[in-house]
Amino acid sequence: MNNLVTKLSSIAALIGVLGAIGAGFVQYGKLTAKIEELDKRKAVINQSVDLGPINAKVDEALLYANEYKVDLIDRIKKVEDKIKPIDLTTVFKEIAKVREELAMLDIPEKTNLKPLNEAIKNLEGKISELDTNVKIVQKENQLQDVLIEEIKAAANNPLAN
């Protein structure tokens, strides 16, 4: 009897495995049929997108860009008008004269320029510091101008008091 139960449970397990394999093949067949059906269909998308607002913003941006471009071109022209060509031939002649005079002084070729270089570096540092200070003062002036404008606006506003 023990042997019979073991054989029946083995047969039941085998039937279960065969059923699971069969179910897997059925699902595979359904999936393959669905893929073939989808391959035969033609995809048609009928949605349309209204690009009017985007085009309007692009046109507006181009308009502003052209205005800034014209303003920038005008500024460049003003700067170019202020630039004056300089004839450097006289400067080069003066340099040549100084070189001739130095040659006549018979200065040794190895002159100690270290103190002069240190003085130049010191001056460059001070110039850089002054430049930074000037930029700070300019920003402070801009801030003060903004504050003055705010005070003027507040003074002209009857509801501010």
pLDDT at 74: 75
Do 31 and 66 fall into the same domain?
no
> What tens digit of pLDDT does each residue of 17-75 get?
888 888 888 899 999 999 888 888 776 666 677 778 888 888 877 777 766 666 777 77
Instruction: Using pLDDT thresholds of 50, 70 and 90, give the confidence band for residue 160.
Output: low
- Residue 40 in any domain: the answer is no
The domain tally of the chain equals 2
Residue 89 lies in a domain: yes
**94-103 long-range Cβ contacts below 8 angstroms, 24+ apart:** none
The whole-model pTM stands at 0.30
* C-alpha pair distances (Å), 15 with each of 7, 19, 112: 12, 6, 105
**Same domain, yes or no, for 102 and 25?**
no
Mean pLDDT of the region 70-99: 77
Q: Is residue 102 part of a domain?
A: yes
- Assess whether pLDDT exceeds 60 at residue 124: yes
Domain shared by 27 and 64, yes or no: no
Looking at the domain assignment, is residue 85 inside a domain?
yes
Task: Tell me, yes or no, whether 67 and 101 share the same domain.
Answer: yes
Give whole-number Cα distances, 104 to 37, 82, 90, 98, 112, in Å: 102, 41, 21, 10, 19
The band of 112, judged by pLDDT with boundaries at 50, 70 and 90, is confident
* 72 assigned to some structural domain: yes
31 and 59 together in one domain: no
Q: Residue 15: give the domain boundaries.
A: 1-35
Instruction: Please check whether residue 161 lies inside any domain of the structure.
Output: no
Tell me, yes or no, whether 149 and 93 share the same domain: yes
Residues 14 and 75 grouped into a single domain: no
